[in-house]
Amino acid sequence: MGSAARTDTDSSLGTHDLETGMRASRVGTVVPIMAIAVALLFVFNSAGLVRWTQNLPPSTFNTALSDAANAWHDAMTAAGPARLFEVVKDAIEVDLR
Amino acid sequence: MIFPTLNFLLFYLVVWPTAWGLALLRQHLLHKLAIIAASYFFYAFWNWRLAFLLFGSVLLNYSAGRLIDRWRGTSAGRWTVRLAVAANLLLLGFFKYYGWFIESLDDLLRSLSMERELPYLEIVLPIGISFFTFQGISYIVDLHRRDLDRSRPLVDVMFFISFFPHLVAGPIVRAASFLPQLETPPNPNRVFVGLGVMLVIWGVLKKAIVANYLAVQLVDPVFLAPSNYGAIDLLFAVYGYAIQIYCDFSAYSDIAIGVAALLGYRFQRNFNQPYRAESLQDFWRRWHMSLSSWLRDYLYIPLGGNRYGEFRTYRNLLLTMVLGGIWHGAAWKFVLWGALHGGVLALERFVYKGHDPAARIGRPVWIRAVSIVVIFHFVCLCWIFFRAEDLSRAWELLGGLANWSQPVELLSLFLLALVTFGMAIQFTPQDTPQRLDRLYHRLPTWGVGVLCGIVLLLVEAISGDGAAPFIYFQF
């Protein structure tokens, strides 16, 4: 193994702590980060929610969920963010081809 | 359930507050049970029947641990260790290698004109079995070696083996380093939020953009039919695969480490800029570190390591790497991949008399640069066998590298940029995560949230719909 040239008792291999030199925080700081990031995803990428509900197995609950996702997507399209995201997405797709 | 998907996001949005809520209420046992339940749900999402196999593995190792404790220092204790390790390997061997063994035996008997009816079975390969089996062995051996002071309750062993971030594709977590973390609830005032958020975002970016585009637009078509392409496409498909597998696998590890960090648990690093390695030994200190250290501590050293002379050391290196190759899958191409790595590790050891050339201080820059190029190309050569459907297609690809007359068909500026990016991130300063962590602490929390949201939206816009499974799911 990679450690062969070192001594067999060398234990540094694979035991690096990533946290070295980093500062810890309170767990509460995760809440606004997650909330804002998820909200942005759901507002701008509401089409993604619709696609997700379309792939769910058919059931009464999932149909209601799908209807709610569609209504949300319609609202976001009317308000603008969903349209803006689609424009950015299309522009990127064209560029990458 | 794949990490960068809406399914996983929604799953995590339920698990994270539940786990922390119970920890803050000082309901430590319920906290652990909630994470175990979530882990089994995560695993059963693929195939619920296989969740029973996972539980069987937990029970086996838990029971063996209790017996090792009870019979410590006696021959019964030592036999329990042997039997438990053998049972783990038998479980892995049956599900992963039975079909390969029977096929190889069939081929051999045919070649000797001794055809027989062999017991072929339709066996589903349980996802993550290589990882959770190795963790089970780690529990048994750490306990036997007293790296772990005593056996743990069933809940802790279940948590350790089934914890969803590492369950299906690692990192391979050591019992001795992880189980002590379960003694007390995670500390809500000491969560590495900057590290966790950074790793998750970085992992999503590497997987959804770099790995996926390289796979779909370059690597997959070329490795499917190498003879259809000229040398430049073939060469860049090989480079592309080197970057793809790094960005795919290290992305999974990063997300796993990040997701666990946000839950208050610590895993060890799994990758450290492997393509800047100046020797093959150096490469294995940087690539899939949790596997290479596992193989070293639980296979290479028990085989004798470097303690019984040169010849035994070379044999041990070769054997360890061949077995490491087979760990990846039941195919001769993985045997060859492991043998190539083991052979060159032994050769390096012979040439440099046991010293790692990468560790020498004051080497001229040009020697270091040449070493990096040589090692990278050797690793790429090995990746050809690793990625090819079979050995014949690997040889086909190698032969095609001499065909410089065919025009370039697949390589585009965008793909070239991805390969360049994948190489450039191997040479960023070693303290980049610490710098980013300092930046995180300077930004307001809402700013971090907005930044994360924008990056995730951009990734979604660039990566398109759907996410391909991670490469290491098949192992």
Per-residue model confidence as pLDDT tens digits over A1-42: 444 333 333 333 333 567 778 888 999 999 999 999 999 999
B469 in a structural domain: no
Count of structural domains, chain B: 2
* Pairwise CB contact (< 8 Å): A13 & B465: no
Tell me the H-state helices in B263-356. Answer: 280-286, 289-295, 309-328, 332-351
* Pairwise CB contact (< 8 Å): A41 & B449: no
* Cα atoms in the 13 Å half-sphere on the side-chain side of B129: 23
Same domain, B220 and B114: no
CA of A31 to nearest chain B CA: how many angstroms apart? 9
- Residues of chain A contacting B290 with CB distance shorter than 8 Å: 14
Same domain, B415 and B306: yes
Contacts of B227 (CB under 8 A, 6+ apart): B396, B400
Token reading at B274: 């492997």
Same domain, B304 and B410: yes
- Residues of chain B contacting A39 with CB distance shorter than 8 Å: 453
Same domain, B215 and B137: no
Task: Please choose, from the candidates B380, B408, B341, B428, the residue with its C-alpha nearest in 3D space to the C-alpha of residue B240.
Answer: B380
* Pairwise CB contact (< 8 Å): B441 & A15: no
Identify the band that residue B115 occupies on the pLDDT scale cut at 50, 70 and 90. Answer: confident
pLDDT at residue B40 tops 70: yes
- Residues of chain A contacting B431 with CB distance shorter than 8 Å: 21
Residue A27 is predicted with a pLDDT of: 93
Same domain, B199 and B165: no
Identity (one letter) of the amino acid at B337?
A: W
Between A20 and B249, name the one with better pLDDT: B249
Same domain, B160 and B213: no
Identity (one letter) of the amino acid at B366?
A: W
Write down which residue in B128, B148, B182 finishes a domain.
Answer: B182
For residue A76, report the phi and psi dihedrals to the nearest 5 degrees: -70, -30
| Residue of chain A whose Cα is closest to the Cα of B270 | A14
* Per-residue CA distances from A97 to B3, B224, B413 (Å): 27, 22, 10
B1 in a structural domain: no
B408 in a structural domain: yes
B166 in a structural domain: yes
* Per-residue CA distances from B76 to B70, B82, B213, B447 (Å): 9, 10, 54, 60
B468 in a structural domain: no
- Where is mean pLDDT largest: B66-70, B106-110, B364-368? B66-70
Verdict on whether the full-model pTM lies above 0.95: no
ipTM over 0.85: no
* Pairwise CB contact (< 8 Å): B289 & A85: no
Task: Please choose, from the candidates B243, B249, B233, B234, the residue with its C-alpha nearest in 3D space to the C-alpha of residue B213.
Answer: B243
Q: Which of B283, B293, B460 sits opposite A48 (nearest CB)?
A: B460
Known catalytic residue at B377: no
Token reading at A4: 């062969």
Same domain, B306 and B331: yes
Residue A2 is predicted with a pLDDT of: 43
- Percent of chain B at pLDDT > 90 equals 66
Same domain, B88 and B206: no
* Per-residue CA distances from B186 to B22, B42, B263, B268, B403 (Å): 10, 21, 8, 17, 58
Same domain, B136 and B155: yes
> Stretch B362-382: mean pLDDT, rounded?
93
pLDDT at residue B303 tops 80: yes
Contacts of B439 (CB under 8 A, 6+ apart): none
CA of B110 to nearest chain A CA: how many angstroms apart? 37
Same domain, B150 and B279: no
B312 in a structural domain: yes
B470 in a structural domain: no
Q: What is the span of the domain harbouring residue B35?
A: 6-182
Length of chain B: 475
Write down which residue in B182, B216, B245 finishes a domain.
Answer: B182
Same domain, B169 and B204: no
* Per-residue CA distances from B408 to B46, B230, B403 (Å): 40, 7, 11
* Pairwise CB contact (< 8 Å): B290 & A14: yes
Write down which residue in B152, B182, B212 finishes a domain.
Answer: B182
Same domain, B176 and B206: no
| Residue of chain A whose Cα is closest to the Cα of B9 | A38
